[in-house]
Amino acid sequence: MACSPCFYMSIHFLFLYLSCQPIDAHILSRSMKPLCLEDEMSALLQFKERYEIANVSGGPLAHPKTLSWKNSQDCCSWDGIECDENTGHVIVLDLGSSFLYGSIDNNSTIFQLAHPEKLNLGDNHFNYSQIPSRVGDLSRLTHLNLSASFFPGQVPSEIFKLTRLVYLNLCCSLDDRLLLEMKAPGLRRLSQNLTDLEELLLGHVNMSSQVPNTLANLSSLRRLNMDDLTGRLPNFKSSSPLKELQLRGTSFYGELPASIGNLRSLEMLDLYSCNLTGSLPMSIGNLPLLSYLDIVHNNFSGSIPASFANLSNLKYLDVGMNPFAAQSASSLSWVWKMKKLATLNLWRINLYGEIPPSIGNLSQLVELSFFGNQLSGTIPSQLMNLTQLTDLELPTNQLSCSIPSWLVNMTQLVVLDLSRNKFHGQIPSSIYRLQNLLTTFSSSNNWRCSYYHLTGYHAARVAQMLFFLNLGP
Ligand SMILES: *[C@@H]1O[C@H](CO)[C@@H](O)[C@H](O)[C@H]1NC(C)=O
Ligand SMILES: *[C@@H]1O[C@H](CO)[C@@H](O)[C@H](O)[C@H]1NC(C)=O
Ligand SMILES: *[C@@H]1O[C@H](CO)[C@@H](O)[C@H](O)[C@H]1NC(C)=O
Ligand SMILES: *[C@@H]1O[C@H](CO)[C@@H](O)[C@H](O)[C@H]1NC(C)=O
Ligand SMILES: *[C@@H]1O[C@H](CO)[C@@H](O)[C@H](O)[C@H]1NC(C)=O
Ligand SMILES: *[C@@H]1O[C@H](CO)[C@@H](O)[C@H](O)[C@H]1NC(C)=O
Ligand SMILES: *[C@@H]1O[C@H](CO)[C@@H](O)[C@H](O)[C@H]1NC(C)=O
Ligand SMILES: *[C@@H]1O[C@H](CO)[C@@H](O)[C@H](O)[C@H]1NC(C)=O
Ligand SMILES: *[C@@H]1O[C@H](CO)[C@@H](O)[C@H](O)[C@H]1NC(C)=O
Ligand SMILES: *[C@@H]1O[C@H](CO)[C@@H](O)[C@H](O)[C@H]1NC(C)=O
Ligand SMILES: *[C@@H]1O[C@H](CO)[C@@H](O)[C@H](O)[C@H]1NC(C)=O
Ligand SMILES: *[C@@H]1O[C@H](CO)[C@@H](O)[C@H](O)[C@H]1NC(C)=O
């Protein structure tokens, strides 16, 4: 008997239907992500509804995450959401850089989620509403990121209840205004309670308070970023895992304590424009991993300790604008051995004498500045070896002789500043070869020029440079 194809097909479908159903349920309960809980999904959707999507985020990965949130789907699979594998509770809410625009308050449905461990609202625009104090109810939080989100006013003290925090970012307003405030005893309470913090980012938070000695209680800190603090720096405990100490623009005064040398893990020390005085401690030389050191614009005196010679991992060294005792450039012999340096800024630190030929050792240099010293003599030809150099700034010194002709071979230069020196003679006519040069400052020297034999492109290029040079043929 011939079987009809139709009969076969329906048997086949029936078979699939019967055998697949129990397998589906099995997969769902065991290996697939759990479905999110209905009340949490509804809380998230209400949160979404409250915000306009507007052009308020600038981060590199910025995109409107909530746009893809749909009622019909499992919220655990939504962009920015992660759920606990066993319970289905939302544990990660990463809405950083999501173009959210609108205010937030204590009634936000976000606080109906009892289980978040990570909350990131950074790089959105909460329209100058205050940080709701109910954020302190999210007691499981380990990560809280409210960076650059237009929150003004006092940081609610309820945040100090979040004793599990390891990451707290309240840093940075986009326009450098201090919108957020954390007045005394905020920082004291914070450092008494949030002792597990590994990263504390409070740059641009108006604290204008004394630094509490309890700050040293934060023994797990790896990264500290603050400004607008005052007081003396605390003593740093040994065994601290601190890697980044960024105190840019704070009003810390007094000396940099010798205990800075205890921070053996330190890779970045940024004390730009603080109010520190006295000598630099020798112990800075004990920081073997230091790669970034910026102490610009303080009141450090004495001489730069020779122990700096041990900082063999330095890539960035900027010690400018400090009233160090006058010393010859060649006496900084350790500097000229730092083979990894990419940035070397020795501006306004009372250097005299000639630029030492050993500068040719620093083959990784990209930026070099001796601005505002009393250097004399000529530009050493070993500078030719610095083939990565894009910025060469030598203004306001006593450098003399003619501009070396090899300078025109440093075609990678973008910034060349030779102004306010005692150069004389002819500017090499082949200077037009410096195709990348964007800025040249060479005024107030004693140049003689004779370019009149140049024609066409070269003449135009030289005329353009003479314009920069402020000379005019
Ligand atoms: C978004 O804003 C930035 C400045 O805030 C602006 O430069 C950019 O053009 C804007 N983009 C759109 C699509 O409006
Ligand atoms: C932002 O705040 C201003 C002033 O309070 C208000 O007029 C505007 O409607 C708010 N915008 C949003 C999206 O909440
Ligand atoms: C929060 O909700 C309560 C009642 O639901 C209401 O009375 C109160 O005004 C709301 N507060 C804000 C800031 O919206
Ligand atoms: C916190 O938010 C800021 C601003 O969006 C972002 O740059 C930073 O990477 C975020 N940090 C973390 C740990 O997600
Ligand atoms: C939120 O509620 C608390 C009391 O629960 C109140 O002190 C606070 O002012 C409210 N508003 C904000 C923006 O936190
Ligand atoms: C510190 O944390 C505890 C809970 O561990 C809390 O009871 C206390 O209020 C917090 N202190 C401050 C100043 O918030
Ligand atoms: C910081 O806050 C104080 C008031 O507590 C204010 O006088 C000061 O101007 C603020 N600083 C800045 C830079 O906004
Ligand atoms: C925190 O620091 C204070 C003062 O330095 C100290 O008395 C206290 O014991 C410290 N607490 C902890 C938990 O380390
Ligand atoms: C710097 O510190 C001195 C005390 O050593 C203080 O008198 C001065 O006001 C401070 N300057 C700033 C800008 O904080
Ligand atoms: C800078 O330090 C010297 C002592 O080395 C001190 O006399 C002077 O007052 C300090 N200047 C400032 C502005 O703190
Ligand atoms: C410049 O580079 C050449 C070749 O790399 C090397 O032989 C010479 O020693 C270098 N000169 C200096 C002063 O470093
Ligand atoms: C510049 O480089 C060229 C080869 O690229 C070389 O012939 C010339 O001698 C160099 N000029 C100077 C002044 O070193």
Structure confidence by residue, pLDDT tens digits, 44-95: 999 999 999 999 999 889 999 999 999 888 999 999 999 999 999 999 999 9
Q: How many CA atoms, within 13 angstroms, populate the side-chain half-sphere of residue 369? A: 20
**Residue 254 contacts residue 278 (beta carbons within 8 Å):** yes
Nearest ligand by distance to the CA of 151: 5
133 Cβ inside 6 Å of ligand 3? no
Q: From the CA of 109, which ligand is nearest? A: 3
CA distance 48 to 165: 26
Distance, first Cα to last Cα, the chain: 108
Where residue 23 falls among pLDDT bands split at 50, 70, 90?
Answer: very low
- Any idea where the domains of the chain sit in the sequence? 232-325, 331-473
The reported pLDDT for the residue numbered 289 is: 97
Ligand 3 binding pocket includes 105 (Cβ within 6 Å)? yes
Is-contact 435 412, C-beta < 8 A?
A: no
Please give the number of the atom of ligand 6 that sits closest to the Cα of 193: 1
Mind listing the pLDDT tens digit for each residue in 361-387?
999 999 999 999 999 999 999 999 999
Q: Round to whole Å and give the CA distance between 36 and 84.
A: 9
**Ligand 5 near 132 CB (within 6 A):** yes
Task: Name 24's Cβ contacts closer than 8 Å, sequence gap at least 6.
Answer: none
Among residues 153, 167, 187, which one has the least CA distance to residue 118? 167
| Ligand (nearest to CA of 249) | 9
Mutate to test the pocket of ligand 8, among 194, 214, 221 (most ligand atoms within 8 A of CB): 214
Residue 107 beta carbon below 6 angstroms from any ligand 5 atom: no
> pLDDT value at position 64?
97
pLDDT at 12 over 50: no
Q: Which amino acid is at 288?
A: P
Provide mean pLDDT across the span 455-459: 44
Kind of pairing, strands 223-226 and 244-246? Answer: parallel
Q: Is 279 in the pocket of ligand 5 (CB under 6 A)?
A: no
Tell me which amino acid residue 18 is: L
Distance 7 CA to ligand 7 centre (A): 83
Centre of ligand 3 from the C-alpha of residue 107, in Å: 6
CATH architecture of the domain with range 232-325: Alpha-Beta Horseshoe (3.80)
Extract the tokens encoding 338.
Answer: 């730092």
The model's confidence at residue 184, banded by pLDDT at 50, 70 and 90, is confident
Residue 286's pLDDT is 95
- Choose one of 103, 104, 105, 106 to mutate for the ligand 5 pocket test, by most ligand atoms within 8 angstroms of C-beta: 106
- Mean pLDDT, residues 92-120: 97
* Structure confidence at residue 447 as a pLDDT band (50, 70, 90): low
Strands 143-145 and 81-83: unpaired
Average pLDDT of the residues of the chain: 85
| Least confident interval from 251-265, 266-280, 309-323, 392-406 | 392-406
Q: Pick the residue whose CA is nearest to atom 11 on ligand 10.
A: 299
Does ligand 4 lie within 6 Å of residue 217's CB atom? no
Whose tokens are 């893809």? That residue is 68
Centroid of ligand 2 to alpha carbon of 397 (angstroms): 54
Mutate to test the pocket of ligand 3, among 107, 112, 130, 133 (most ligand atoms within 8 A of CB): 107
Burial 368-379 (b: 16+ CB within 10 A, else e): bbbbbbebbeeb
Establish whether residue 209 lines the binding site of ligand 7, counting it when its CB lies within 6 angstroms of any ligand atom. Answer: no
Instruction: Report pTM.
Output: 0.78
Span from the CA of 138 to the centroid of ligand 6 (angstroms): 13
- Band of the pLDDT at 439, cuts 50, 70, 90? low
Ligand 11 mutation pick, 385, 387, 406, max ligand atoms within 8 A of CB:
385
Tell me: pLDDT of 5 over 60.
no
Cβ neighbours for 64, distance < 8 A, ≥ 6 positions apart: 53, 98, 99
% helix / strand / coil in the chain, to the nearest 5?
25, 20, 50
Secondary structure (3-state) at 120: strand
List the residue whose alpha carbon is closest to atom 1 of ligand 7. Answer: 206
Which among 145, 276, 154, 275 is positioned nearest to 205, based on CA atoms?
154
How far apart are the CA of 341 and the centre of ligand 4, in A?
Answer: 29
214 ligand 8 Cβ < 6 A: yes
Q: Do 331-473 and 232-325 have the same topology in CATH?
A: yes
The closest alpha carbon to 165, from 212, 119, 232, belongs to: 119
Per cent of the chain over pLDDT 90 is 62
454 or 165: whose pLDDT is higher? 165
Per the model's pLDDT, the better-predicted residue between 348 and 464 turns out to be 348
Q: What is the pLDDT of residue 263?
A: 93
| E strands present in 75-147 | 81-83, 90-94, 100-101, 118-120, 143-145
Q: Give the architecture-level CATH label for domain 331-473.
A: Alpha-Beta Horseshoe (3.80)
Residue 9 has pLDDT above 50, yes or no: no
DSSP conformation class of 74: -
Per-residue pLDDT at 318 exceeds 90: yes
Q: Pick the atom of ligand 11 nearest to 358's CA.
A: 13
pLDDT at 146: 97
- Is it the case that residue 295 has pLDDT exceeding 80? yes
Segment 197-247, tens digit of pLDDT: 999 999 888 887 777 778 877 888 899 888 777 778 888 888 889 999 998
Name which of 107, 51, 115 is nearest 81 in CA terms: 115
432 in Cβ contact with 411 (< 8 Å): no
Residue nearest to atom 12 of ligand 3 (CA): 107
Position 250 confidence tier, pLDDT thresholds 50, 70, 90: confident
Find the ligand nearest to 177 CA: 7
C-alpha span between 318 and 224 (Å, rounded): 20
Any atom of ligand 4 within 6 Å of the Cβ of 88: no
Which percentage of the chain shows pLDDT scores above 70? 84
3-state SS class at 347: coil
What pLDDT shows up at residue 24? 41
Q: Tell whether ligand 4 has an atom less than 6 A from the beta carbon of residue 372.
A: no
Task: Give 139-163 pLDDT, tens digit per residue.
Answer: 999 999 999 999 999 999 999 999 9
Split at pLDDT 50, 70, 90, the class of 464 is low
pLDDT at 402: 79
Look at residue 269 and tell me whether its pLDDT is greater than 70. Answer: yes
| pLDDT score recorded for residue 216 | 78
Q: Give me the pLDDT at residue 407, please.
A: 86
Contact 151, 125 (CB under 8 A): no
Given a contact cutoff of 8 angstroms between Cβ atoms, the answer to whether 201 and 232 are in contact is: no
Is the pLDDT reported for residue 137 higher than 90?
yes
